[in-house]
Structure 1
């Protein structure tokens, strides 16, 4: 996953320094990196607790939204709405990634521990994600 995002970073630098590469290669490389991330997280769920699977599934939805947003920006490069949509979904993905870590691995000793098999806690996690959509 990191190597694909590294290729994306190199592609972005080549575009910035105006190297002769095919047009819209920066979009293709980031969509490829997001697709790789999506597949890795999709097959990362085997043998996990119910809460863990739910959190990672919600992350998959955020990654898919990022891929769609980049594809729309590729199709409509002058649209400010497409650029804002892309930025929004990247922020959603990153902050949800951070919250997954906070829920599954609490950073402080004595902090709240989630019950990873409780259905009510899974619904709370889903509610947090939906509220994060409107943040």
Structure 2
């Protein structure tokens, strides 16, 4: 199978196992001016750290089974001392005002079949696949 994203690119031959992990980290230091009804400046920070571990297993030279999940840590710090209707401190380890807290995100199980592979270089590669998403309750 051709190379590409870690969840759909690398093809495993029969009984081969590939492990992967993707990471994304983002820090935003934000600020905006007063809004109607809140006559003070607004500022804070948002930190997101996402890990996406996965595994690909070769059921045969043409059929692969993959599994991955998302693990995330997120925090929003409100630097103001005043109450705000639209800003507040929120963290992954506790419930948000509109979502359940927790680090586990959605998981996917995908089966892929390599129908045609030209090999290295230019050419056609036809891959059929399908899978299921297992939603977390932390969204």
TM-score, scaled relative to structure 1: 0.28
User: Which structure has the highest strand share of the two?
Assistant: 2
For the pair shown, the structure with the greater C-alpha radius of gyration is 2
Greater relative CO, 1 or 2 (CA 8 Å, sep 6+)? 1
TM-score, scaled relative to structure 2: 0.27
User: Which structure has the highest helix share of the two?
Assistant: 1
